[in-house]
């Protein structure tokens, strides 16, 4: 066996290959994470809310792709991600730039624009998108009335048209609410094959049409699936959970306003949406009991205690917080229905 040469011989082709690797390495170092993905940004024509939904074969895609601000618009920034497109784009639209003007300005000063994919939508329902010519194929976008869909590194170039058709059809037919329509767009993309690498994470962000002055109230939905074999299925499950707890919150608000029947209706709806969560009917039972509906409340308590015994130990703690009567006999009555 002859010894290895001390200095490898390289052909012109191999030198070009190494140069290509060097350029790619430089790109990966200077660029931020590659979120090859499919997404939709949209303004709900019914409520004016803004939303972004995304799925990708990339860990925690929602932390870098989804951006939205009440009263301003929404942004998706993907491919070799530059997250600054999110806050910078929203800031420009807040100053009165149209989505196209804002996007053009940011793209023009981005030296790595050719590997970016970005989409904006504003309060007027105007949308704009950019797909750099070096985004990994299949890559492209489609702009519609009040929305834009975009994708890169897809199995096929039918992915984003399928998303556009699904969202447009849902809006025209009145199918579901805004969150549901965004999910339908993502599911249509996956049905076409989606990301050529598979799937890993997903996110859904929806904000109000107009700011309330209290930023924590402006976000209507903020759900993220960071790492899951079926991220869209998990995102849909989380959305159902979100709706259940929103119904519970609505029930609490109705109680605070003295509308007992409305509160019970909301609590019942929450339980229907999430029948496996014992906490939801527990608080319904507490409400019933404090409102004098003791017989009905005890039946609910009985069911909760049978499903999850730990709730029994919580009951004696509630009178001190004003959530149950300061009456030992009544507390004992509740405890008596425990298994």
What is the three-state SS of 66-108?
A: EEEECCCEEEEEEEECCCCHHHHHHHHHHCCCCHHHHHHHHHH
User: pLDDT value at position 35?
Assistant: 58
Answer yes or no: are the C-beta atoms of 52 and 39 closer than 8 Å. yes
Sheet bearing 219-225, strands edge to edge = 140-144, 147-151, 37-43, 50-56, 201-207, 219-225
Which of 122, 162, 107 has its CA nearest to residue 151?
Answer: 162
Q: Where in the chain is the domain with CATH 3.60.20.10?
A: 32-229
Any residues with CB less than 8 A from the CB of 252 and at least 6 apart, and which? 263
pTM of the shown model = 0.86
Answer yes or no: are the C-beta atoms of 186 and 54 closer than 8 Å. yes
Residue 313 clears pLDDT 60, i.e. is over it:
yes
Tell me how crowded residue 137 is: count the other CB atoms within 10 A of its CB.
11
Determine whether 11 is exposed, middle or buried from the number of CB atoms within 10 Å of its CB (0-12, 13-18, 19+).
Answer: exposed
User: pLDDT value at position 228?
Assistant: 97
Average model confidence (pLDDT) across the chain: 90
Average pLDDT over residues 260-283: 91
Q: Which residues sit opposite 42 in a β-bridge?
A: 51, 147
User: pLDDT value at position 36?
Assistant: 64
Which CATH superfamily hosts domain 245-335?
Tetratricopeptide repeat domain (1.25.40.10)
- Six-digit token pair at 178? 């805004």
Which CATH superfamily hosts domain 32-229?
Aminohydrolase, N-terminal nucleophile (Ntn) domain (3.60.20.10)
Query: pLDDT tens across 42-54, in order?
Result: 999 999 999 999 9
Q: Where in the chain is the domain with CATH 1.25.40.10?
A: 245-335
Q: 176: which DSSP letter? A: S
Query: pLDDT tens across 163-222, in order?
Result: 999 999 999 999 999 999 999 999 999 999 999 999 999 999 999 999 999 999 999 999
Cα-based distances in Å from 100 to 87, 110, 243: 16, 15, 34
> SS3 of 200, please?
coil
Query: pLDDT tens across 91-121, in order?
Result: 999 999 999 999 999 999 999 999 999 999 9
Which of 231, 274, 215, 316 has its CA nearest to residue 60?
Answer: 231
> SS3 of 192, please?
coil
Which of 71, 65, 74, 75 has its CA nearest to residue 32?
Answer: 65
Rounded Cα–Cα distance for residues 151 and 141 (Å): 6
Rounded Cα–Cα distance for residues 297 and 260 (Å): 14
Residue 2 clears pLDDT 70, i.e. is over it:
no
Q: Which residue has the tokens 């949406």?
A: 273
Answer yes or no: are the C-beta atoms of 51 and 74 closer than 8 Å. yes
């Amino acid at each position: 066996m002859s010894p290895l040469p001390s200095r490898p011989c390289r052909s012109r082709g191999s030198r070009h290959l190494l140069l290509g690797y060097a350029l790619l390495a430089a790109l990966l170092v200077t660029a931020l994470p590659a979120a090859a993905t499919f997404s939709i940004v949209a303004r709900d024509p019914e409520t004016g809310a803004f939303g972004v939904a995304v799925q990708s074969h990339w860990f925690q895609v929602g932390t870098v792709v989804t951006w939205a601000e009440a009263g301003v618009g929404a942004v998706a920034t993907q491919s070799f991600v530059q997250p600054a497109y999110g806050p910078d784009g929203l800031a420009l639209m807040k100053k009165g730039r149209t989505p196209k003007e804002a996007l053009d300005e940011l793209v023009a000063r981005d030296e790595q624009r050719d590997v970016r994919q970005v989409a904006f939508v504003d309060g007027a329902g105007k949308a704009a998108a950019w797909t750099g010519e070096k985004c990994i194929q299949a890559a492209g976008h489609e702009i519609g009335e009040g929305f834009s869909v975009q994708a890169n590194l897809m199995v096929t170039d039918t992915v984003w048209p399928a998303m556009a058709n699904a969202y447009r059809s849902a809006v025209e037919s009145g199918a579901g609410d805004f969150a549901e329509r965004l999910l339908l767009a993502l599911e249509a993309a996956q049905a076409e094959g989606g990301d050529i690498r598979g799937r890993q994470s997903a996110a859904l962000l929806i904000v109000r049409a107009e700011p309330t002055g209290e930023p924590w109230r402006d976000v209507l939905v903020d759900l993220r699936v960071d790492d899951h074999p079926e991220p869209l299925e998990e995102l849909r499950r989380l959305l159902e959970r979100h709706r259940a707890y929103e119904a519970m919150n609505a029930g609490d608000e109705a109680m605070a306003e003295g509308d007992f029947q409305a509160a019970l209706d909301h609590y019942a709806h929450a339980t229907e949406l999430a029948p496996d969560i014992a906490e939801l009917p527990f608080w319904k039972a507490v409400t019933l009991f404090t409102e004098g509906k003791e017989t009905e409340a005890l039946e609910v308590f009985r069911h909760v205690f049978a499903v999850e015994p730990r709730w029994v130990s919580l009951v004696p703690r509630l009178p001190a917080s004003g959530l149950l009567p300061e009456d030992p006999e009544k507390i004992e009555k509740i405890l008596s229905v425990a298994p």
